[in-house]
Amino acid sequence: MNDDSRAIAEDYPYEVGDHAAQETAVRTVPLTPPSIPDYLQDTYWWAYLHPKSFWFFEREWVVNLILWGNMHKLTRAVLDEMDLQPNSSVLQVACVYGDFSNRLASHLGQTQSRLNVVDVAPIQISNIEKKLAAHDNVSIHLQDSTCMSFPNDSFEETVVFFLLHEQPEAARRKTVAEAIRVTRPGGRVIFVDYHGPKRSNPMRYVMKPILTLLEPFAMDLWREELPAFMPAEIKAEQLSSKFYFGGLYQKVVLKL
């Protein structure tokens, strides 16, 4: 198992509190903050809403362990997919534990491009503001992925990294539709998530009970291909897919 980076230090200040004055990430808060969705409160409170969750999950080696040593590979798969002109704008839908967002912000900085991150949980917003404070090309937005307030065609590229498996089908379809709506024609939406592995992959029999217990909505992505949750007008020729770790993970790129 690879531990490609422990870029988040063990003494990272995981507690959520007042923001330091020197932080450079820009925060945008809607006039009426979104409510926490029921599925997040009921199913994932322990992973995303409990203050002590950051102490455990905000370590790259922990995320890498959860993904069976594939965190660096899957992060790299997103970065390698980026094909941006200078001064572009990219959206990351939902916060991601580990060093994914730091790497994405650094990568975008090479082309003077900007990273926008949305999340529905204020506690996640506070955490990522701390985590990305060293970057001056980041904006943080408190929004629900199923009904974002950005205008149509706001971003050159949008990234949805391991979010869809955490949402029930109705919310998942809305998130996908919103990601498409806010991405400009000629741009791309990059999805990375779970996928039903090959029957010959022994991880199929390890992960099925784990996901069924802890992440029940993930099994939808085993039963259906991810494009099945996209709007009907999306055509097969707009899509390309790549699979990792015996099919357990997938990257789907939608060209608009």
Helix, strand, coil shares, percent, the chain, to 5? 40, 20, 40
CA–CA separation, 177 and 148 (whole Å): 10
With H, G, I as helix, E, B as strand and everything else as coil, classify residue 106: helix
CA distances from 255 to 59, 70, 97, 161, 188 (A): 33, 25, 27, 17, 5
Amino acid letter, 141? H
Amino acid letter, 107? H
CA atoms in the 13 A half-sphere facing the CB of 122: 10
Q: Tens of pLDDT along 35-89?
A: 999 999 999 999 999 999 999 999 999 999 999 999 999 999 999 999 899 999 9
Count of H-run helices and E-run strands, the chain: 9, 8
Q: Which residues contact 236 (CB under 8 A, 6 or more apart)?
A: 227
Q: Tens of pLDDT along 166-211?
A: 999 999 999 999 999 999 999 999 999 999 999 999 999 999 999 9
Position 8 confidence tier, pLDDT thresholds 50, 70, 90:
very low
Residue 24 has pLDDT above 70, yes or no: no
With 0.75 as the threshold, say if the pTM is over it: yes
| Sheet containing 89-93, strands listed edge to edge, beginning at the edge strand earlier in sequence | 26-28, 138-142, 114-119, 89-93, 155-161, 183-194, 249-255, 239-244
Q: Tens of pLDDT along 202-235?
A: 999 999 999 999 999 999 999 999 999 999 999 9
> Residue 98's pLDDT is what?
97
Radius of gyration of the chain (CA): 17
Q: Tens of pLDDT along 126-162?
A: 999 999 999 999 999 999 999 999 999 999 999 999 9
Q: Tens of pLDDT along 95-129?
A: 999 999 999 999 999 999 999 999 999 999 999 99
